[in-house]
Amino acid sequence: MSLQRISIESFRNITKANLLPSEGLNLIYGHNGSGKTSILEAIFFLGMGRSFRSHLSQRVIRHDEDKLTLFALLSHQNGESKVGLRRHRNGDIEVKIDGDRVKRLSTLAETLPIQVITPESFSLLFEGPKARRQFIDWGAFHSDEQFHLAWTNVKRVLKQRNQLLRNNSSYANILFWDKELVRYAEQVTQIRNHYVDSLNELLKGIIEEFLPQVNISISFTRGWDSKTDLAQLLESQYSRDLATGHTVSGPHKADLRLRVGNLPVQDALSRGQLKLLVCALRIAQGKLLKQQQDKQSIYLVDDLPSELDAQHRQLLLKQLTETGAQIFVTAIEPAAIVDSLASPPSKVFHVEQGQVTVIE
């Protein structure tokens, strides 16, 4: 799977840009603020319907415009697909795939699977369980077609249950929703657990190559005590949930636990090592998608040289290129990437003040 053509209009500081990327490694370089990261962000936006840099999507629309437009021609094993997205400043969003209107943004993620490695990727390790849960759920979504509906039902039931808690409802009125929550929670947890087990098989070898002197253990925690029945726990914690106004335990509290010995990786590893670990997680996730679904991810790697020495840059680029996936890498100086590659980039783009130029 690869992007054959990308059109970007009124996105950040990019007025209009058309790219014909290579199926291999595409190097995008330019000074800070030139717009090189905006290209990666636009590709991510086209695959997810949101930004990886801001929770407020209106901010990515060029300041003097009322909408942004993105388009891509996507090549895959079944042929080609045309993906288009238009986001208005008032929040309205239009998505089309092969000319047909798409109602669910999850269809975008299914059509265009993306792995992103940026300086913000550290949130996976530092910002609490939510980012790690999203990491697991990306894989669970792609690995099992039942996951999306099951997880949607979990969130729907939790919304109803929490509203009843805020209304000081009796447990008799909540019991129905608890039975529903248990049913969907078991399905979600089983899919998540199976996915993490599969991921670990691939991840072990990558981590050993990136961090050979460090013994990292990775495990899935489901969001409540593994020795406790969820139905019993929800009933026994009713008073506590009532006092807090929300459900304290359940699949919405699941996490991915990463440790070196008894220490969380955040306390045991340097920033450079943590960056390598995040890269290993993303590469393993992309490889597992290829293994399970015969579908390639597209890798977006922003500011790769930062915090990695030449040896580790070379190692990371080697792992990325060996996936056989399409890769977009940004850097301020092209030499930082070119010198770390066994062969030249497939294509090079220079960005300056939002203008994109192909370097032959």
The pLDDT tens digits for 222-242 are 999 988 999 999 999 999 999
Mean pLDDT over 182-196 rounds to 97
Task: Report the C-alpha gap between 353 and 35 in whole angstroms.
Answer: 7
Residue 313's pLDDT is what? 87
Least confident of 102-106, 223-227, 297-301, 306-310: 306-310
Query: Does position 311 have pLDDT exceeding 70, yes or no?
Result: yes
Q: 59-117, pLDDT tens digit by residue?
A: 889 888 899 999 999 988 778 899 999 999 888 899 999 988 988 888 888 888 999 98
- % residues pLDDT > 70 (the chain): 98
The whole-number pLDDT of residue 110 equals: 86
What is the band of 1 on the pLDDT scale with cuts at 50, 70, 90?
A: confident
**Average pLDDT value over all residues in the chain:** 91
From its phi and psi, is residue 355 left (phi > 0), alpha (psi between -120 and 50) or beta? beta
The mean per-residue pLDDT over the stretch 163-188 comes to 96
Picking from 134, 176, 127, the residue whose alpha carbon sits closest to that of residue 151 is 134
- Confidence tier at 119 by pLDDT (50, 70, 90): confident
More confident residue, 185 or 48: 185
Confidence of residue 307 (pLDDT cuts 50, 70, 90): low
Q: Taking Cα atoms as reference points, which of 360, 356, 357, 359 lies closest to residue 38?
A: 356
Q: Which residue has the higher pLDDT, 17 or 109?
A: 17
Q: Return the closest-CA partner of residue 40 out of 83, 8, 78.
A: 8
Residue 309 pLDDT more than 90?
no
What is the dihedral sign for C-alpha 317, 124, 29, 85? positive
Tell the burial category of 101 from Cβ atoms under 10 Å away from its Cβ (0-12, 13-18, 19+): exposed
Per cent of the chain over pLDDT 90 is 62
Q: Would you place residue 272 in the very low, low, confident or very high pLDDT band (cuts 50, 70, 90)? A: confident
The alpha carbon of 133 is separated from its chain's Cα centroid by a whole number of angstroms, namely: 10
The model's pLDDT over 23-44, given as tens digits with 9 standing for 90+, comes to 999 999 999 889 999 999 999 9
Which pLDDT value is given to residue 284? 93
Has residue 120 got a pLDDT over 80? Answer: no
Beta strand 93-97 with 100-101 is antiparallel
For the record, the structure tokens of 255 come out as 């996490």
Mean pLDDT within 327-334: 93
